[in-house]
Amino acid sequence: MVHSSDWEPPVGSWASSAANRRSMLGNRNRDTSPELALRSLVHASGLRYRVAAKPLPGMRRTADLVFRRVRVAVFVDGCFWHGCPQHFVPPKTNPDYWRQKIGRNMQRDKDTDIRLAEAGWLVLRFWEHQPAEECAEAVKDAVSKRKECGLLVHRG
């Protein structure tokens, strides 16, 4: 039996220690506190949405909230994972790995935004540190404006 104190990360691994590995594996990719707060406020306003859904069928990316009928995709981006210009602090351990990893995440976010926009979707992105009330208001406004403009996608 190998104890976590005896564990050594593989060469080139993102995990610099067993504790770091446990911490990073414990990070959620959905149902984070900022997402739950936003979802609660949006739901309380009467809007209904899909959670952690793919806006486009062939796209391997999920949005945190998806309003299919009006084509609005909402993302709540974590400051570390998406390179928040206000809060991102690069790790001191394995900096090359993390610079590349966060850079790829940011590129994927841009690509996602472009692909969704080309398909007629409105993309709303919020940072995890933004007040949930402000984000919920922006979501409600966007969804209602698209409904008013008649941008409903009919189910067929």
CB 122 within 8 A of CB 141: no
Class of domain 28-148: alpha beta
Strand order in the sheet with 50-53: 50-53, 63-67, 72-77, 122-127
Asked if the model's pLDDT at residue 5 lies above 70, the reply is: no
Quick one: which H or E segment has residue 73? strand 72-77
Q: pLDDT tier at 155 (50, 70, 90 boundaries)?
A: low
* Higher-pLDDT residue of 31, 39: 39
* Higher-pLDDT residue of 46, 4: 46
Q: Which two tokens stand for residue 90?
A: 């690069």
CA distances from 30 to 33, 35, 51, 83, 155 (A): 9, 8, 9, 18, 27
CB 75 within 8 A of CB 124: yes
- Per-residue pLDDT, averaged over 131-147, amounts to 98
pLDDT in tens, 52-102: 999 999 999 999 999 999 999 999 999 999 999 999 999 999 999 999 999
pLDDT at 96: 93
pTM listed for this prediction: 0.81
Q: Rounded to whole angstroms, how far apart are CA atoms 138 and 134?
A: 6
- Per-residue pLDDT, averaged over 136-151, amounts to 94
Q: Rounded to whole angstroms, how far apart are CA atoms 129 and 65?
A: 17
